[in-house]
Structure 1
Amino acid sequence: MDHVTVKDVMERFGLELSAGAEGIGRHIASSDISRPGLEVAGFFEYYPANRIQLLGKSEISFFSMLPRLDKMERARKLCSPDTPMIVVCHSMRIPPELVAAAEEEQVPLLSSPMTTTKLSNKLSDFLENRLAPMTAVHGVLLDIYGLGVLITGKSGIGKSEVALDLVKRGHRLVADDMVEIRQVAEDTLVGNPPELLRHLLEIRGLGIIDVQMLFGASAIRDFKRITLIIDLELWDPERTYDRLGLEEEKLKILDTELTRLTVPVRPGRNMSSIVEVAAMNHRMKQMGMNAAEQFSDRLNDMIGREQDPSY
């Protein structure tokens, strides 16, 4: 999981700091956003203090109608030690009582010209992505016909070479060597490259190449939802490989299970074409068309006819 501070949010959304400058290093631990309308009205029993607090026109208008002592009391309660930050939307005038309380407790108090709903949606998307559970996998992630395909395998098996050939065919590179994977929602994994390796591909004998510089912006993507895993391994003559495709292997990453295909590598096999067709075939299966099952049904039908003439 990434660490997100108030400063990160300030810089990302261009928020203006009004008070509590010493607290901009506070960590934000929750992706949930709170609009403390009941709290402004005086009900703090279930105040979710660990969330970002957004104050819009309704909250600020009601707050301005309160007696001064009530304003001071509720401002102090809003600025609890657990509150990461408070944002006033619509560029509204911030009540001085709230400024004083935020400065006293060193809770960052910020303002934004955006509407409350718009800023809330943007903050939620940003925090859900940054605070999602994360892991890193050694492999290559590509966008092949709209599917996020993660290619794994031992070092030197040829993952990057396959990726280079697929990029030349018009597919898009997301990450090479190391893929950061985030669980952004239930059954949804999104992969992206580490910042240091963004748009780069390592080819033994050539070194590091910049895919965007060589093939253009259409050859890269910054992130992609992972749908299929293809594991490359050296051909083992002692192992029996799946020849029909009826059995589906699964691999669990974080809390999500993904389909994994094990593809043997040996001289003479065009691995780029195999990976490309594997992605196409997986898409067909998602659409309800499974060639392996159709073949099995035909075979069973033929066997039944041979065994029983009245079949």
Structure 2
Amino acid sequence: MAKVRTKDVIEKFGLELLSGEEGINRPIVTSDISRPGLELAGYFDYFPAERIQLLGKTELSFAEKLNDEEREARLEMLCSDITPAIIITRELEVPEELLEAAEREAVPILRTKQKTTRFSSLLTNFLESKLAPTTAIHGVLVDIYGVGVLITGKSGVGKSETALELVKRGHRLVADDCVEIRQEDEDTLVGSAPELIEHLLEIRGLGIINVMTLFGAGAIRRFKKISLVMDLEIWDAQKQYDRLGLEEEKMKIIDTELIKMTIPVRPGRNLAVIIEVAAMNFRLKRMGVNAAEQFTNRLTDVIEDGDHEDR
């Protein structure tokens, strides 16, 4: 099933449909956009027909200088059976030959008032967002002091209860139970809630609560960049847990690696406070302040000073 179709672009940018209405359900498979200057000059060897074709002042003024036969032939070649749309910018006049060819081949001809470069940038951003790789993860996503924290763990470990406590402490819920994640670029993952469970939180014994209704609009966010993963697991007495914070575990989601911390859960541990402090500490590390490294350096200095005194 196509993620985005030509009609989605028409609706998003309020484009004028001039021809080829039959093709508005064509799928758009790439966020790349083509400005077919070389093609209008007659070079079609590497014509990217699967892209949206953008015609601005430069392309159309060049087309006007062609003789009737060349113009008709080249504009017709722009209208392939896989071209999602041809968009005219600056509300320029569209060559009659292009309108006729587009109607025959069912290629939508669209028009916008915006300038070519500006519209190209907006369209690329929209398509990249829609066509980005996506996945879904069982967990809770919370915005803590501006840090997107993905809380994971087995069912029943206390993820939603921890999220509720974090919301009560003034932080913002993005998604509970299922987090939809899209990779916007090489190292950016953005999480959001499925529409069906947006703003909702499930607490065992209490049921489903609406966070926005209970705590107000300031307690929720529609989406957030994920920076940190906190994995909750039942305390295992046989397992060695990191006590200094020098070790950095990673978790890979799609093609992006995130820092992952494993938090053991047992009665008496305030998970909300621990996760809150972890988010603040993560921010400090990004600013160049690493408490674990500072402690290790101080410990090394004390040991070295002791060695010198013994000598």
Partner of residue 53, structure 1: 53
Alignment of 1:127-146 (within 5 A): 127-146=127-146
Alignment of 1:255-266 (within 5 A): 255-266=255-266
2:21 matched to 1:8?
A: no
2:84 matched to 1:66?
A: no
Cα distance in 1 for partners of 2:200, 2:214 equals: 10
Partner of residue 293, structure 2: 293
Alignment of 1:149-298 (within 5 A): 149-298=149-298
CA contact (8 A) 2:231 2:262 kept: yes
Specify the code of the residue in structure 1 equivalent to 2:122. Answer: K
Specify the code of the residue in structure 2 equivalent to 1:136. Answer: A
Number of aligned pairs? 311
Q: Secondary structure at the match of 2:141?
A: strand
Residue by residue over 1:82-138, the C-alpha shift from the partner in whole angstroms, topping out at 9 and shown as x without a partner, is 211111112222211111111111111111122212221111111111111111111
Structure 2, unmatched stretches of 5+, are: none
Structure 1, unmatched stretches of 5+, are: none
Specify the code of the residue in structure 1 equivalent to 2:49. Answer: A
- CA RMSD, 1 decimal: 1.6
CA contact (8 A) 1:23 1:108 kept: yes
Cα distance in 1 for partners of 2:82, 2:143 equals: 41
Cα distance in 1 for partners of 2:141, 2:30 equals: 29
- TM-score of the two chains, using structure 1 as the length reference: 0.95
Specify the code of the residue in structure 2 equivalent to 1:20. Answer: G
- TM-score of the two chains, using structure 2 as the length reference: 0.95
Q: CA deviation at 1:2?
A: 6.4
Specify the code of the residue in structure 2 equivalent to 1:61. Answer: S
CA contact (8 A) 2:235 2:265 kept: yes
2:31 matched to 1:44?
A: no
Range with greater deviation from structure 2 (126-135 or 214-223): 214-223
Specify the code of the residue in structure 2 equivalent to 1:239. Answer: K
Specify the code of the residue in structure 2 equivalent to 1:201. Answer: L
Q: CA deviation at 1:214?
A: 2.4
Q: CA deviation at 1:145?
A: 0.9
Specify the code of the residue in structure 1 equivalent to 2:179. Answer: V
Range with greater deviation from structure 2 (256-265 or 12-21): 12-21
Specify the code of the residue in structure 2 equivalent to 1:58. Answer: T
Specify the code of the residue in structure 1 equivalent to 2:254. Answer: L
Cα distance in 2 for partners of 1:267, 1:260 equals: 22
Q: CA deviation at 1:46?
A: 2.1
Partner of residue 105, structure 1: 105
Partner of residue 21, structure 1: 21
Residue by residue over 1:4-32, the C-alpha shift from the partner in whole angstroms, topping out at 9 and shown as x without a partner, is 11111111111121111121111111111
Q: CA deviation at 1:33?
A: 1.1
CA contact (8 A) 1:2 1:131 kept: no
CA contact (8 A) 2:75 2:97 kept: yes
Q: Secondary structure at the match of 2:244?
A: coil
Residue by residue over 1:46-71, the C-alpha shift from the partner in whole angstroms, topping out at 9 and shown as x without a partner, is 22111111111222222233222222
Specify the code of the residue in structure 1 equivalent to 2:271. Answer: M
Partner of residue 90, structure 1: 90
Cα distance in 2 for partners of 1:10, 1:47 equals: 24
Q: CA deviation at 1:209?
A: 2.0
